Structure 1
Amino acid sequence: MRLVVTGRDGQVATSLLEAGKARDGIEVVAVGRPALDLTQPDTVFQALAAARPDIVVSAAAYTAVDQAEDEPDLAFAVNAVGAGKVAEAAAQLGVPVIHLSTDYVFDGSKDGAYVETDATAPLGVYGASKLAGELAVAAANPRHLILRTAWVYSPFGRNFVKTMLRLAGDRDEIAVVADQWGNPTSALDIADAILHAAAMLRDDEAFDGYGIYHLAGTGETSWSGFARHILDTSARYGGPTARVRDIATSDYPTKAKRPANSRLSSAKFEGAFGWQAPEWREASHEVVERLTAR
């Protein structure tokens, strides 16, 4: 099975490339700029056709949440128009598309974990552009899995875990928001879930479970709770550590508003594919151990 993933340097793409090397019968190929540029829709089909996919993983995205407030046209060009073109190209090639989306399609006002049928109401440009991308993907290719995830981290790229470790190397105390809750999700686990689902799509030509799924780490915490676990784990391995001071969202203003509740229920994905993410402490422990070992 040949999995072609858009974007070369993103956390999910890099995790997929790593995971693919460890599995027999799976080849993961990443395509990105300049060959495939989501701001240049005319490049998409040719780049994907040349890569000869059995399944396309649409992972490339505009992810600068605050900057998107100043660059809405670019955010929508990549996350909506570009994502739609990737799904359309996959349809033209006769293959399914697995598209990555986000918890930011919700406003965070629900008391409890969001399920796939809950009403969407993005708070900012980034979330709105990703929601538009979901609609474009679904319209362009009926054989789609749209995977909403949240609070993604990994040994690769920029993410909250790496930020906490970097800050702990420079200071004794770090102020972290304590009133936003969610499911920390390792991109290593997202990659494992995608490969698991892709194998099912390959083996079952009559698969009828296409649609939207939530895919997030098991268990929930706040950003400050996540930070404490990261730094406690780092200390165990001789890495940087610091005290964490709880603050409110209002104490840390950002250009884009974040949902207070990013919790996602992954029960539908677990039921359809028989795969469950590890508990978030266990998964983040592995990533912190890898990063401190460096």
Structure 2
Amino acid sequence: MKILVTGSNGLLGQKIIYGLLGDPLCLLPDDVRKKIKGEVQIIAAAKGENRVHRKDGYIYESLDITSKTEVENIFSKHQPNVVINTAAMTNVDACETKREECWAANVTAMQYICDTLEKLPSPAGEGLGVRLIHLSTDFVFDGMKGSEYVETDQPNPLHYYALSKLEGEKIVMASKLKWAILRT
């Protein structure tokens, strides 16, 4: 079992790496955990130098998710069973002023990730297929509901960051992958 975490230099990505190092199956549903046999390999991937403080127990790969070639190369090299995508441009104000960069990180990169994962062979022996866990945002909603949102509520993004994350979600949902979207 190979778990690849994109955006591992970010706060959430680092926390996920630390959680996986403590219990590599902690983020997987029980039905998946029961099917896993053997060792779990963790691959942390982010743009530039590794900023995760702990340096053992995982493989680090420099990965710019806005580069189709880098995504294809790293994913093909490791052939992960599970990808946890935390990589994104998340600064709301910067997304308004740097729209092309925001779209590349939050939308185009999701297309690269989904397309690449769909081309990978199904992981042998586990019958799981490749799973994608994509981190998004509750900013896809306008906040006017007055109570908690549920996944079936109609999104209404009010700024470019939220719009880009919603478009990234649509790519994931349209893919042939087994996926989950987590809105934080």
Report TM bin, short chain: 0.7 to 0.9
Q: How many residues align?
A: 149
Structure 2 matches for 1:161-240, cutoff 5 A? none
- Give 2:180's aligned amino acid: L
Counterpart among 102, 107, 124 of residue 142 in structure 2: 107
Moved more, 35-44 or 115-124: 35-44
Q: CA deviation at 1:27?
A: 3.0
The structure-2 alpha-carbon separation of the partners of 1:40 and 1:17, relative to structure 1 and needing over 3 Å to count, comes to: same
Partner-residue secondary structure (3-state), 2:92: coil
Whether contact under 8 Å (1:88, 1:141) holds in the other structure is no
Structure 1 residue aligned with 2:56: none
Structure 2 residue aligned with 1:43: 70
Where structure 1 has 5 or more consecutive residues not aligned to the other structure, the ranges are 150-294
- Give 2:163's aligned amino acid: A
- Give 1:90's aligned amino acid: L
- Give 2:147's aligned amino acid: G
Whether contact under 8 Å (1:3, 1:56) holds in the other structure is yes
The structure-2 alpha-carbon separation of the partners of 1:37 and 1:144, relative to structure 1 and needing over 3 Å to count, comes to: same
Whether contact under 8 Å (1:81, 1:136) holds in the other structure is no
Counterpart among 158, 170, 178 of residue 123 in structure 1: 158
Q: CA deviation at 1:118?
A: 0.6
Partner-residue secondary structure (3-state), 2:84: strand
Structure 2 residue aligned with 1:3: 3
- TM-score (ref. length: structure 1): 0.48
- Give 2:145's aligned amino acid: K
Q: CA deviation at 1:146?
A: 1.0
Larger Rg: 1
Distance in 2, matches of 1:73 and 1:19, equals: 33
Q: CA deviation at 1:22?
A: 1.5
Distance in 2, matches of 1:146 and 1:88, equals: 17
Structure 2 residue aligned with 1:87: 114
Instruction: Report percent identity of matched pairs.
Output: 35
Whether contact under 8 Å (1:4, 1:30) holds in the other structure is yes
Kindly indicate whether residue 44 of structure 2 is the aligned counterpart of residue 30 of structure 1: yes
Q: CA deviation at 1:59?
A: 1.1
Distance in 2, matches of 1:107 and 1:87, equals: 27
Partner-residue secondary structure (3-state), 1:98: strand
The superposition leaves residues 39-79 of structure 1 with CA deviations (integer Å, 9 ceiling, x where unpaired) of 22222111112123111111100011111110111111110
Whether contact under 8 Å (2:88, 2:105) holds in the other structure is yes
Distance in 2, matches of 1:66 and 1:128, equals: 13
Structure 2 residue aligned with 1:14: 14
Structure 1 residue aligned with 2:31: none
- Give 1:29's aligned amino acid: I
Structure 2 residue aligned with 1:179: none
Where structure 2 has 5 or more consecutive residues not aligned to the other structure, the ranges are 25-38, 49-61, 123-129
The superposition leaves residues 180-200 of structure 1 with CA deviations (integer Å, 9 ceiling, x where unpaired) of xxxxxxxxxxxxxxxxxxxxx
Structure 1 residue aligned with 2:35: none
Structure 2 residue aligned with 1:98: 133
Structure 2 residue aligned with 1:53: 80
Whether contact under 8 Å (1:90, 1:141) holds in the other structure is no
Q: CA deviation at 1:121?
A: 0.6
Distance in 2, matches of 1:105 and 1:137, equals: 15
Whether contact under 8 Å (1:3, 1:54) holds in the other structure is yes
